Structure 1
């Protein structure tokens, strides 16, 4: 899978961006399931539910937007699959097409099969993105080599789904999916600078975990041990000096 540049693909990406002003998160590569950027109905009409049938049971309503619905933002499995390398490949997305994404956490999971029963195979260590502000902003982030989860083996022709989750500051988990068919690297279309690049105004940060406290915790634990050992001796010496 090589990086290449195509003027026509630059134009296609520019046109895509122009049409996404009201979007949440868009997977640029591999191709996502479809347009799930719709908001329908009202919060009052669904009594606060994220998804509910209309009063005539004819239309599904998404007052907060389709992307709030697990596992793939309300979109069914697609027949238009992208060939993706059997040993892993690129994942690219646009995270800032909605207010409130100055900071967000990104998760990428894998579901196996044509219609995965779940998306329970994490593909990356979650990370945080930092955008310019809380207003909608353009820009793309790309992970050029997302590996398969440990212990997962696939072969050319197997189907799967890549799930991208953006956990926003306002508490929403925004779901998006790309359906793929695994293929040998030479059979996969080139990934290029139009669909895999990192915009300079979006930065990355690691997530803080309690594991980070482990070494610090060991140092704290040794302090009481040190005091237990030294303090009695110190008090004994001090008492002896006073009694002398």
Structure 2
């Protein structure tokens, strides 16, 4: 009986520590403490749409995203669904992004090309779904409800800015083997193109390329995330 209790407590402690926090846009609710919330439940950690009580204004041409991940590395995907009560997150804003290091990661601008094609109207409601997949193959989910706004701005970078990476945290887009990486303390000016992949270290913010254009190299995902 005591052994079973120890195993249960260990399992619970591991599951709590292996979560991530969606910091911006503001998540629907705290999926660490909200009753019934479980981050491994698709599509939004068992947390329903907030029906307008907790919506972040987000730029119509692409916006910022910031999260805090407890995993040392994880594949990160960001999807979008339109409407007040989203049932399908069928628009890809970010795909195959390899986050490395524990702590805060900020993507200063993502979704530009997808939203250019979608052309969301000012005032349109939508929901953003963030998915992380850890080296063990477990998927975790968090969602944020947004309202597209022509007046909304990106999070600021640089000294004193709100968009930054924690020390030791970086990321890279997994593209085909012909792509190159742009390294530096601030990769926020990386252009969105099918032929580019980029990384950013601590203090830098990442500008995401077109998610739909990314392809996994033949070396496989395991080479990037230690699967």
Settle same-fold status: TM greater than 0.5.
Answer: yes
- 2:57 — aligned with what? 83
1:140 to 104, 119, 122: 104
Q: Find the aligned partners of 1:91 and 1:85 in 2 and give their Cα distance.
A: 12
1:194/1:23 CA distance change after superposition, 3 Å: farther
1:171 to 127, 134, 137: 137
- 2:67 — aligned with what? 93
2:42 aligned counterpart, secondary structure? coil
Shift of 1:102: 1.7
5+ residue gaps, structure 1, are 1-20, 41-59, 132-136, 214-244
Q: Is the 8 A contact 2:23 2:66 kept in 1?
A: yes
5+ residue gaps, structure 2, are 1-15, 177-214, 219-227
Which structure has the greater CA radius of gyration? 1
- 1:70 — aligned with what? 42
Q: Find the aligned partners of 1:128 and 1:173 in 2 and give their Cα distance.
A: 14
- 1:37 — aligned with what? 32
1:203 to 143, 166, 170: 170
Q: 1:103 aligned to 2:67?
A: no
Number of matched pairs: 159
1:93/1:125 CA distance change after superposition, 3 Å: same
Q: Is the 8 A contact 1:29 1:92 kept in 2?
A: yes
The structure richer in helix per residue is 1
2:119 to 142, 146, 153: 153
Shift of 1:169: 1.5
Please give the TM-score of this superposition, normalised by the length of structure 2: 0.62
Shift of 1:190: 6.6
Q: 1:184 aligned to 2:179?
A: no
Root mean square deviation, CA, Å: 2.7
Q: Find the aligned partners of 1:153 and 1:190 in 2 and give their Cα distance.
A: 18
Q: Find the aligned partners of 1:166 and 1:27 in 2 and give their Cα distance.
A: 11
- 1:114 — aligned with what? 84
- Per-residue CA deviations over 1:143-163 (Å, capped at 9, x if unaligned) read 111124263121111000111
1:93 aligned counterpart, secondary structure? strand
Q: Find the aligned partners of 2:216 and 2:47 in 1 and give their Cα distance.
A: 36
- Per-residue CA deviations over 1:24-50 (Å, capped at 9, x if unaligned) read 11111111101111498xxxxxxxxxx
1:190/1:124 CA distance change after superposition, 3 Å: closer
Q: Find the aligned partners of 2:21 and 2:67 in 1 and give their Cα distance.
A: 6
